[in-house]
Amino acid sequence: MSRRRPHEEDDGYERAYRKRRRVSENQEIEDRLESLILRVGEKSTSSLESNLEGLASVLEADLATFRSKILRILTDCAIKMPEKCTIYTTLVGLLNAKNYNFGGEFVEYMVRNLKDSLKACKWDAARYSLRFLADLVNCHVISAGSLLQLLDNMVDAAKEDGVPQVRKDWYVFAVLSTLPWVGRELYEKKEQALEHLLVSIEVFLGKRSKKHHAALRVWALDTPHPQEEYLDCLWAQIRKLRQDNWAEKHIPRPYLAFDSILCEALQHNLPTILPPPHHDSYQYPMPHVVFRMFDYTDCPEGPILPGAHSIERFLIEEHLHQIIEMHHLERKDCAAHLLNFPYKLKIPLDYSIVEVIFAELFHMPSPRYLEIVYGSVLIELCKLQPSTMPQVLAQATEILFIRIDTMNTACFDRFVNWFSYHLSNFQFRWSWEDWDSCLQLDPEHPRPKFVREVLLKSLRLSYHQRIKDMMPDSFESLIPTKPEPKFKYAAEGAGSLPGTTSAHKLVVSIRAKCKPEEVLHVLQDLPNPRQDEDVDPRFNPLKIDVFVQTLLNLGSKSFSHSFAAISKFHYVFKELAESEEAQICILRNMFDLWHGHQQMMCVLIDKMLKTQIIECSAVANWIFSKDMSGEFTKLYLWEILHLTIKKMSKHVNRLGRELAEALERLRHAESDSDESEDGDGEGNNNSGQRGKSGGADDHEKPSEDMVDRMEERLEAAQADQKNLFLIIFQRFIMILSEHLVRSDTDGRDFNTHWYKWTIGRLQQVFLVHHEQVQKYSSTLETLLFTQDLDPHILEVFHQFTSLRA
Amino acid sequence: MVYLHFPTNLTEEELMLQTKYAKLKKKKKALQALKAPRPEPERTPQTPKRPAEARDAREVARKLLKSGAITAITKTPKRPEQAGFKRPRGLERKLSSTERTISGYQPFSATHPEDMETDNRPKVKNLYDSFVSARDREERGLTEKRDGRADKPRQGNTIFVSGHEITEDFLKKTFHSYGNIVNVTVEIEKNHGFVTFDKMEAADQAITEMHHGMVSGVQLKVSLARRQPVIQPINDAASAATWSTIAASHSQKGSHRDRRKLIVYEEGFFD
A167-183 tens-digit pLDDT: 999 999 999 999 999 99
Q: What is the pLDDT of residues A80-129, one digit of tens each?
A: 999 899 999 999 999 999 999 999 999 999 999 999 999 999 999 999 99
d(CA A721, CA A733): 18
Quickly state the pLDDT bin for B56 (edges 50, 70, 90).
Answer: low
- Which member of B86, B238, B240 has the closest CB to residue A5? B86
Quickly state the pLDDT bin for B80 (edges 50, 70, 90).
Answer: very low
Quickly state the pLDDT bin for B192 (edges 50, 70, 90).
Answer: confident
Range with the poorest average pLDDT among A311-320, A450-459, A559-568, B65-74 = B65-74
Helix (H) or strand (E) holding A169: helix A165-189
Probe site for chain B from A27, A31, A32 (most B CB atoms < 10 A) = A32
Probe site for chain A from B66, B242, B244, B271 (most A CB atoms < 10 A) = B244
> Among residues A761, A758, A765, which one has the least CA distance to residue A740?
A758
**Does residue A513 belong to the interface with chain B, where contact is any CB pair within 8 Å?**
yes
Specify the pLDDT at position A19: 56
d(CA B111, CA B84): 11
> What is the interface size between A and B, counted as CB pairs within 8 Å?
215
B158 DSSP 8-state letter: E
Please indicate whether, in this complex, the C-beta atoms of B88 and A512 are within 8 angstroms of each other: no
SS3 B7: coil
For the cut 80, the answer to whether the pLDDT of residue B128 exceeds it is no
Average pLDDT of chain B is 64
Amino acid at site B213: G
- Which member of B237, B238, B270 has the closest CB to residue A561? B270
Residues of chain A contacting B241 with CB distance shorter than 8 Å: 391
Average pLDDT of chain A is 89
Q: Find out whether A371 and A361 touch, Cβ atoms under 8 Å.
A: yes
| End-to-end alpha carbon distance in chain A | 57
ipTM more than 0.85?
Answer: no
Quickly state the pLDDT bin for B69 (edges 50, 70, 90).
Answer: low
For the cut 90, the answer to whether the pLDDT of residue B52 exceeds it is no
For the cut 80, the answer to whether the pLDDT of residue B269 exceeds it is no
Quickly state the pLDDT bin for A471 (edges 50, 70, 90).
Answer: very high
Probe site for chain B from A31, A47, A49, A57 (most B CB atoms < 10 A) = A57
For the cut 50, the answer to whether the pLDDT of residue B48 exceeds it is no
d(CA A412, CA A444): 13
Quickly state the pLDDT bin for B5 (edges 50, 70, 90).
Answer: low
> Among residues A635, A593, A636, A360, which one has the least CA distance to residue A488?
A593
Q: What is the pLDDT of residues B96-125, one digit of tens each?
A: 444 443 433 433 433 333 343 434 444 444
**Does residue A384 belong to the interface with chain B, where contact is any CB pair within 8 Å?**
yes
Residues of chain B contacting A327 with CB distance shorter than 8 Å: none
Probe site for chain A from B50, B53, B112, B235 (most A CB atoms < 10 A) = B235
The interface residues of chain A toward chain B in range 50-69, judged by CB-CB distance below 8 A, are: 50-51, 53-55, 57-58, 60-62
For the cut 60, the answer to whether the pLDDT of residue A767 exceeds it is yes
Task: Report, as an integer, the average pLDDT of B237-251.
Answer: 74
Residues of chain B contacting A434 with CB distance shorter than 8 Å: 238
The interface residues of chain A toward chain B in range 436-465, judged by CB-CB distance below 8 A, are: 463, 465
Residues of chain B contacting A298 with CB distance shorter than 8 Å: 235
Task: Report the CATH fold assignment for B158-224.
Answer: Alpha-Beta Plaits (3.30.70)
A700/B161: higher pLDDT: B161
Residues of chain B contacting A102 with CB distance shorter than 8 Å: none
Q: What is the pLDDT of residues A371-427, one digit of tens each?
A: 999 999 999 999 998 888 999 999 999 999 999 999 999 999 999 999 999 999 988
Q: What is the pLDDT of residues B130-162, one digit of tens each?
A: 555 454 444 444 444 344 444 445 677 888 888
Q: Find out whether A215 and A285 touch, Cβ atoms under 8 Å.
A: no
Probe site for chain A from B124, B180, B198, B262 (most A CB atoms < 10 A) = B124
- pTM here is 0.78
For the cut 90, the answer to whether the pLDDT of residue B70 exceeds it is no
Q: Which residues pair with B197 in a beta bridge?
A: B181
Task: Report, as an integer, the average pLDDT of A480-486.
Answer: 93
Please indicate whether, in this complex, the C-beta atoms of B130 and A554 are within 8 angstroms of each other: no
Range with the poorest average pLDDT among A65-69, A153-157, B105-109, B255-259 = B105-109
d(CA A768, CA A765): 5
Please indicate whether, in this complex, the C-beta atoms of B127 and A55 are within 8 angstroms of each other: yes
**Does residue A115 belong to the interface with chain B, where contact is any CB pair within 8 Å?**
no
Specify the pLDDT at position B37: 56
Please indicate whether, in this complex, the C-beta atoms of B90 and A14 are within 8 angstroms of each other: yes
d(CA A228, CA A317): 15
Q: What is the pLDDT of residues A9-57, one digit of tens each?
A: 445 555 555 555 566 777 888 888 888 888 888 877 888 888 888 888 8
In B, minimum Cα distance to A34 occurs at B128
Q: Give me the half-sphere count of Cα atoms (radius 13 Å) on the Cβ side of residue A570.
A: 11
Specify the pLDDT at position B162: 87
Please indicate whether, in this complex, the C-beta atoms of B137 and A43 are within 8 angstroms of each other: yes
What's the sign of the alpha-carbon dihedral A761, A767, A770, A772? negative
The top-scoring range by mean pLDDT among A218-227, A556-565, B254-263 is A556-565
Range with the poorest average pLDDT among A468-472, B62-66, B184-188 = B62-66
- Which member of A51, A58, A513 has the closest CB to residue B269? A513
Quickly state the pLDDT bin for A311 (edges 50, 70, 90).
Answer: very high
Which residues of A130-265 form beta strands (DSSP E)?
Answer: 228-229
Task: Report, as an integer, the average pLDDT of A559-586.
Answer: 92
Quickly state the pLDDT bin for A536 (edges 50, 70, 90).
Answer: confident
Q: Which residues fall within 8 angstroms of residue A625, CB to CB, at 6 or more apart? A: A584
Probe site for chain B from A387, A421, A550 (most B CB atoms < 10 A) = A387
Pseudo-torsion of CA A52, A53, A56, A60, nearest 10°?
A: -170
Please indicate whether, in this complex, the C-beta atoms of B268 and A561 are within 8 angstroms of each other: yes
The interface residues of chain A toward chain B in range 662-701, judged by CB-CB distance below 8 A, are: none
Domain definitions of chain B by residue range: 158-224
Specify the pLDDT at position A13: 54
> Among residues A664, A667, A800, which one has the least CA distance to residue A729?
A800
In Å, how far is B20's CA from the nearest CA of chain A?
50
In Å, how far is B160's CA from the nearest CA of chain A?
20
Amino acid at site A645: I
Please indicate whether, in this complex, the C-beta atoms of A387 and B89 are within 8 angstroms of each other: no
In Å, how far is B91's CA from the nearest CA of chain A?
8
Residues of chain B contacting A565 with CB distance shorter than 8 Å: 270
Quickly state the pLDDT bin for B1 (edges 50, 70, 90).
Answer: low
Specify the pLDDT at position A700: 65
Helix (H) or strand (E) holding B194: strand B192-197
Residues of chain B contacting A427 with CB distance shorter than 8 Å: 183, 246, 252-254, 256
Specify the pLDDT at position B98: 41
B100/A229: higher pLDDT: A229
Specify the pLDDT at position A43: 79
| End-to-end alpha carbon distance in chain B | 98
- Which member of B69, B230, B259 has the closest CB to residue A54? B69
Residues of chain B contacting A554 with CB distance shorter than 8 Å: 269
- Which member of A36, A379, A430 has the closest CB to residue B239? A430
Please indicate whether, in this complex, the C-beta atoms of B246 and A426 are within 8 angstroms of each other: yes
Please indicate whether, in this complex, the C-beta atoms of B247 and A555 are within 8 angstroms of each other: no
Specify the pLDDT at position B38: 53
In Å, how far is A524's CA from the nearest CA of chain B?
21
Quickly state the pLDDT bin for B74 (edges 50, 70, 90).
Answer: very low
- Which member of A32, A384, A425 has the closest CB to residue B59? A32
- Which member of B67, B244, B258 has the closest CB to residue A387? B244
Residues of chain A contacting B56 with CB distance shorter than 8 Å: 28-29, 31-32
A544/B189: higher pLDDT: A544
Specify the pLDDT at position A805: 74
Q: Find out whether A175 and A238 touch, Cβ atoms under 8 Å.
A: no
